[in-house]
Amino acid sequence: MITSDQTVERTIRVLLVDDQELVRSGFRSILESEEGIEVVGEADTGAAALEEAWKCRPNVVCMDVQMPDMDGLEATRLLVSDEHVEASILILTTFKRNDYLFEAIRVGASGFLLKNTSAEELIKAVQVVARGDALLDAEVTRSVLQRLATPSNRPPRPAPEPREMAELTAREREVLTLLAQGLSNAEIAGLLFLGEATVKSHVSKVLMKLALRDRIQAVVYAYEHGLVVPGGTDGTPAPN
């Protein structure tokens, strides 16, 4: 039992994956300057990342995209689907391309950052995804929503409602709809006149009932199943 004056802090174990040694060295220096973060391994290809993940059991994998042998997107897909690896994937790339971003989210990445991010933002990102949360800044979120909103990425209408949606309460459906529009917990709380803690609880229940890893996956789920479409909030296009 943990008493009020006791604290238990877990060291965040990080695996760095990048084909440039200088980049890995820089990330290592930044991350290990923060108390509570330890770089436990490095890899220079996607294939090597799979081996290292088995060896060092990281909590977070900082993953490059373009690498020889196996790219970071394929490595992410394999790591996320491996039941023996319990790591969140943070994509770090120099390329600000929507196709990378969209595919990274589809295969299970929990965060996406450009390599020119600040040291403070990198540390924060690792801490966020290590907690099991998702990390996308406002600009990235807009890109995701725009991509999901295109006709080629939307399911044909009408689409049958997924069976698991029946498990959601009316309030949880409402929260999912707002979450899928890119709103933060604070924004959802303001719209629904709820406390942030209550919204966070609703979000957690939505993720659990729909077997989703994080709120990013919830956004993808909502669009792919036609629960939200551009111009409307309930799966119905807004009138012209």
pLDDT in the model for residue 5: 40
**Average per-residue pLDDT for the chain:** 81
What value does the mean pLDDT take over residues 4-17?
72
If we measure between CA atoms, which residue out of 91, 12, 105, 10 comes closest to residue 49? 91
Provide the pLDDT confidence category of residue 4 given band limits of 50, 70 and 90: very low
Q: 15-29, 92-106, 115-129 — which one is most confidently predicted on average? A: 15-29
Of 81-90, 167-176, 229-238, the range with the lowest mean pLDDT is 229-238
pLDDT in the model for residue 152: 59
Asked if pLDDT for residue 2 goes beyond 80, the answer is no
pLDDT in the model for residue 199: 92
pLDDT tens string 94-117: 876 767 777 887 788 888 888 888
Q: How far is CA 13 from CA 56, 92, 164, 178, 212, in A?
A: 8, 17, 34, 33, 23
Provide the 10 A C-beta neighbour count for residue 233.
14
Q: How far is CA 147 from CA 98, 152, 203, 222, in A?
A: 8, 9, 23, 13
What value does the mean pLDDT take over residues 85-99?
83
pLDDT in the model for residue 105: 78
Asked if pLDDT for residue 233 goes beyond 70, the answer is no
Q: What is the 3-state secondary structure (H, E, C) of the chain?
A: CCCCCCCCCCCEEEEEECCCHHHHHHHHHHHHCCCCEEEEEEECCHHHHHHHHHHHCCCEEEECCCCCCCCHHHHHHHHHHCCCCCCEEEEEECCCCHHHHHHHHHHCCCEEEECCCCHHHHHHHHHHHHCCCCECCHHHHHHHHHHHHCHHHCCCCCCCCCHHHHHCCHHHHHHHHHHCCCCCHHHHHHHHCCCHHHHHHHHHHHHHHCCCCCHHHHHHHHHHCCCCCCCCCCCCCCCC
Tell me how far apart the alpha carbons of residues 140 and 37 are, in angstroms, rounded to a whole number.
Answer: 25
pLDDT in the model for residue 110: 86
Provide the pLDDT confidence category of residue 226 given band limits of 50, 70 and 90: confident
% of the chain beyond a pLDDT of 90: 46
Asked if pLDDT for residue 124 goes beyond 70, the answer is yes
Asked if pLDDT for residue 85 goes beyond 70, the answer is yes
Asked if pLDDT for residue 211 goes beyond 80, the answer is yes
Query: CA angle at residue 135 from 132 to 141, to 5 degrees?
Result: 140
Asked if pLDDT for residue 63 goes beyond 90, the answer is yes
Tell me the pTM.
Answer: 0.70
What value does the mean pLDDT take over residues 22-44?
95
